[in-house]
Homo-oligomer: A and B are copies of this chain.
Amino acid sequence: MSIDRKIVTKNAYRITKIRNKTALRVRVPGGHLEAKYFQIIQEVAEKFGDGTVHLTTRQGFECPGIDFDRIPEINKMIRPLIESLGLDVDYGDGGYPAAGTRNISACIGNRVCPYANDDTTRIANSLEKAVYPHDFHFKIAVTGCPNDCIKAHMQDFGIICLTEPQYESKRCITCEACVDNCKKKVTGALSVKDYNIERDIEKCIGCGECILKCPAGAWTRSEEKYYRMVIMGRTGKKNPRLAMPFIKWATEEEITQIIKNTYGFVERYIDTSLPKEHIGYIVDRMGYQVFKMKVCRKGGLYHARNFFTGRSTGCAH
């Protein structure tokens, strides 16, 4: 058995515990797909694999127990699925590029979830277009609201969809449902003053729960959609950590630009002596300030409002 491990793993197949057996991994950007493609996964698993499928935490399918030499056949078979997912980046029947930047995952988002502030799958797909194919070890996830079901706080880039609640006092009946809920479930950003609701914009995390709770339509959604980006969260053996706030009330364009700029940053600063240096460690090594300057300057973001101060002090806003 001879395979080029690096090529194989880059092409969506993994090294498994069992010698000479691989597993097909199909990433599903944003986690949403047409049910008709289930047939293909099933067929791959049953015809080439061990008849089982694992649903990965990054929202992919993994079909284990596959012989390496069946890869070309499988690549042909999964082509319609790959195309439908928009993953086909000039690979033809050669599968599709994987590894490196991980599947951009997303909670179910506002196609289904009442809490979601945006169509997370759409955003995941659009970020996919912006960053793939790429070898750098990045993890990106999009979550529809600060409840963060996708665990954006454990990603290099966690994107949290926000709305900026709009209050119309003349529709408010001061039932305080929004206030109570915000205190209980959110950050306590709301308070009552003279029967009106006051929103502390420093505390408000843009989850939109107040809108959901309002029985009279006093709270509505902002026309613009906003995003909070948290960065450099990670699991891992070395030092798992929660992502830190980076920018709040950003636009989709801005977050996309920051991520794209980060690829440039990595390209410049990555330590190639290491097998695949993870962006988090590069930022640790270079320092947060350098990172921030580099990724924000390009595209004119450096002077953007709404940046968090970050881990060190004295950072320009």
Binding site for B on A (CB under 8 A): 14-18, 23, 28, 31-36, 38-39, 41-42, 45-46, 49, 51-57, 59-64, 105, 107-108, 110-114, 116, 121, 145-154, 184-187, 205, 207, 209, 235-238, 240-242, 274
Contacts and interface: CB of A to CB of B under 8 A. Distances in A.
A185 B239 CA distance: 10
A153 B235 contact: yes
Contact of A237 (B36, B53, B112, B207): B207
A169 B15 CA distance: 29
A154 B158 CA distance: 14
B235 A147 contact: yes
A77 B51 CA distance: 21
A197 to B, nearest CB: 18
Contact of A57 (B15, B31, B236, B241): B31
A209 B237 contact: yes
Given A45-B35, A185-B237, A59 B57 contact: yes
B236 A148 contact: yes
A108 B54 contact: yes
A112 B17 CA distance: 5
A258 to B, nearest CB: 21
Contacts of A112: 14, 16-18, 23, 54, 62, 64
Given A54-B31, A55-B60, A237-B146, A38 B36 contact: no
B57 A150 contact: yes
A225 B156 CA distance: 31
Contacts of A187: 237-238
Contact of A35 (B14, B41, B153): B41
A277 to B, nearest CB: 10
Given A36-B46, A145-B237, A153-B240, 14 more contacts: A16-B112, A17-B110, A17-B113, A32-B52, A32-B54, A35-B63, A36-B42, A54-B108, A57-B151, A64-B108, A146-B237, A153-B235, A209-B237, A242-B242
A86 to B, nearest CB: 15
Contact of A41 (B17, B38, B145): B38
B32 A49 contact: no
13 contacts: A16-B112, A16-B113, A17-B114, A31-B54, A32-B55, A35-B41, A35-B46, A35-B52, A56-B107, A147-B236, A153-B240, A185-B238, A187-B237
B36 A51 contact: yes
Nearest to A62: B108
Contact of A55 (B17, B31, B63, B152): B31
A57 B114 contact: no
A39 B36 contact: no
Contacts of A39: 38-39, 42
